Amino acid sequence: MNISPPSRLGALRPSLPRRAAAEFVGSGLLVTIVVGSGIAAQRLSPDDVGLQLLENSLATALGLSVLILMLGPVSGGHFNPVVSIADWLIGRREGTGLPLRDLPPYVLAQIFGGIAGTLLAGVMFDTAPVFSSHDRATGGHLVGEVVATAGLVLLIFALARTGTASATAAAVGAYIGAAYWFTSSTSFANPAVTIARMFTDTFAGIAPGSVVPFVVAQVVGAALGLALLLVFYPTATRAADRVVVPQHLETQP
């Protein structure tokens, strides 16, 4: 699905407050799905960690796909600071992608939306917010985050470049669901989600001391994903305005 750049005559992106609100709600609901399904899995299958991970990964994969379809036409459906930063970075010379002035509102909305999502999951499951004690910052976990984030960034931007953005929701959901299993870190691949999951001491939590190493690994993974993208698709900068999905353009009256 190809849509002309938002700067075309007579067409506008949704306003920044609307897009930031979509990123806040989308990131919040994503974390609610991750944390809420983790709590439910822990309670429903208390003696089977493998089954807990299966339940958590299926809910996350399906929920993420739905959120991209629901809110992507408003904000692009980033829900992830590394995706927003990569979108600005790769599209800055062509004038495509996320403008620099929009980057801070997107990132802040994603982070605070994610935290709100953790709190919402806690309210629904009667779990008080508390810092997680789940230490994840081992060498293997950090390599897993590099791999997970690199693959996610490469996938999203490759789909935009090849004009197959209509498949992005399903593809991204499928990738994250699979990466729960093939990466040692269970594929956080998102700094906002990582920060938010610090506030729950449940199955989905991550200890505060592991957050910074995870975020650093995710940034490294995003850089690697962009490098691979430019090797495979040298003209990918032209499609930055279609990441994650094309925004719905509004015609001027």
Asked if residue 1 belongs to a domain, the reply is: no
- Confirm whether 247 is domain-assigned: no
Residue-level pLDDT at 11: 58
Is position 251 within any domain?
no
| Cα 125–Cα 130–Cα 132 angle in degrees, nearest 5 | 100
Burial class (CB in 10 A: 0-12, 13-18, 19+), 139: exposed
Q: Is the pTM of this model over 0.75?
A: yes
Q: How many domains does the chain have?
A: 1
Assigned domain for 5 exists: no
> For residue 188, what pLDDT band results from cuts at 50, 70 and 90?
very high
Q: Which of 86, 110, 107, 82 is nearest to 97 (CA)?
A: 86
CA nearest 31: which of 10, 56, 54? 56
Burial call 205-243: b when 16+ CB within 10 Å, e when fewer: bbbeebbebbbebbbbbbbbbbebbeeebeebbbbbbbb
Q: Is 132 helix (H, G, I), strand (E, B) or coil?
A: coil
Q: The domain containing residue 75 runs over which residues? A: 13-241
Mean of the pLDDT values across residues 172-176? 97
CATH code of the domain covering residue 53: 1.20.1080.10
The residue type at 114: G
Q: Answer whether residue 248 is part of any domain.
A: no
Of the listed ranges 133-142, 163-172, 175-184, 198-207, the least confidently predicted one is 163-172
Query: Is 205 a domain residue?
Result: yes
Residue 22 domain-assigned (yes or no): yes
Which two structure tokens, joined as six digits, stand for 40?
């439910």
Question: Whole-angstrom Cα distance, residue 244 to residue 86?
Answer: 11
Q: Please check whether residue 224 lies inside any domain of the structure.
A: yes
**167 contacts: CB under 8 Å, gap ≥ 6:** 159
Please provide residue 133's backbone torsions phi and psi, each rounded to the nearest 5 degrees.
-105, 10
Say which amino acid occupies 66.
V
pLDDT band at 197 (very low <50, low <70, confident <90, very high): very high
76-135 residue pLDDT tens: 999 999 999 999 999 887 888 899 999 999 999 999 999 999 999 999 999 999 999 999
Q: Phi and psi at residue 110, in whole multiples of 5°?
A: -65, -45
